[in-house]
Amino acid sequence: MGPVVSAKQYVLTFAALLALTLSTVLIGFLDLGWGSMFVAVAIALAKATLIACFFMHALLERKLVKLVIAGAILWFLILVTLTVGDYLTRGWLGFGGK
């Protein structure tokens, strides 16, 4: 097994990650209200994607591995949506505790 990715690509990824970190901080100083958390998490998602694709070689992996990654993300989303769904719909009926 030879190297799958060139060293140059790693360095580029590294630079992109640093740039994104800097932009997270800078955008954080802007008052975006509710949006600021979304932007921060969105940039974090971009960074995570870079790490997964280029450091962890997820792009070059078998379909099976991609399925595992997709599954993990999907299951996390199931957990969050169905739970937060309860909290967001509480009170819709207009009387306490329902």
Partner 1 sequence: MSTVVKIPTAETPNYLTEERGILSWLLTTDHKRIGLLYLASVTFFFFIGGIFALLMRLELATPETDLVSPHTYNELFSMHGIIMVWFFLIPSIPNTLGNFLIPMMIGAKDLAYPKLNLASWYIYMFGGIVALYSMARGGVDTGWTFYTPFSTIYSNTYVVGAALGIFISGFASILTGLNFIATIHCMRAPGLTWFKLPLFVWSHYATSIIFVLATPILAVVLLMIAVERIFQVGIFSASLGGDPVLFQHMFWFYSHPAVYIMVLPGMAVISELVAAFSRKRIFGYTFVAYASVSIAVIGFLVWGHHMFVAGTSVYSAMYFSLLSYAVAVPSAIKVFNWTATLYKGSISWDTPMLYAIGFIGLFTIGGMTGLFLAALGVDVHVTDTYFVVAHFHYIMVGGTIMAFLGGMHYWWPKISGRMYPEGISKLSALTVFLGFNLTFFPQFVLGYLGMPRRYAAYPPEFQTLHVLSTAGATILGAGYLMPLIYFFWSWHYGPIAPPNPWRATGLEWRTPSPPPKHNFEVTPVVTQKAYDYDAMKEELGLV
Partner 2 sequence: MSNPQQLMLREQYGTPEQQRESVTFGMWIFLATEVMFFGGLFMAFTVYRVLYPLGFDEGSKDMSIVLGSINTAVLITSSLTMALAIHSASMAKLKRASFLLLTTAFIGLVFLAIKFTEYYQHYEAHKAPGVWFESSSPHANAMELFYVFYFAMTGLHAIHMIIGITLVVIFAVRAYCGSFNSEYHTPLEALGLYWHFVDIVWVFLFAIFYISGLHT
Partner 3 sequence: MNSLQLLPQTASTVATEWNWLFWMLVAVCFLVASGIAIVLVYWAFRYHRKSENELPPQIEGNIKIEATWSIIPFVIFLGMFGWGAHLYVRIEKPPVNAREIYVVAKQWMWKLQYQTGQREINTLHVPIGEPIRLVMTSQDVIHSFFIPAFRVKQDVLPDRYTTLWFEATKPGKYHLFCAEYCGTKHSGMIGWVYAMEPQDFQRWLEEGGSEGSLASTGEKLFHQFGCANCHHFDASGRCPLLTGLYGTEVHLIGGKTVVADETYIREKILHPRGQPIEGYLESVMPTFAGQVSEEQLLALVSFIKAIGPGAAALPRSSSGTSNVQFGQQKGIAGPGATSISGSRPKDR
Residues that bind partner 3 in the complex, under the rule CB under 8 A: 87-88, 90-98
Q: How far apart are CA 32 and CA 48, in angstroms?
A: 23
Query: What letter would DSSP give residue 1?
Result: -
Q: How many residues bind partner 2 (CB under 8 A)?
A: 51
Other C-beta atoms closer than 10 Å to the C-beta of 75 total 10
Q: Is 4 helix (H, G, I), strand (E, B) or coil?
A: coil
Residue whose CB is less far from partner 1, 9 or 83: 83
The answer to whether 43 and 27 are in contact (CB under 8 A) is yes
The answer to whether 39 and 23 are in contact (CB under 8 A) is no
The residue type found at 44 is A
For partner 2, the binding residue among 60, 76, 89, 91 (CB under 8 A) is 76
In the complex, which residues of this chain contact partner 1 (CB under 8 A)? 64, 71-72, 75, 78-79, 82-83, 85-87, 89-93, 97-98
In the complex, which residues of this chain contact partner 2 (CB under 8 A)? 1-5, 7, 10-11, 13-14, 17-18, 21-22, 24-25, 28-32, 34, 36-37, 40-41, 43-44, 47-48, 51-52, 55-56, 61-62, 64-65, 68-69, 71-73, 75-76, 79-80, 83-84, 87-88
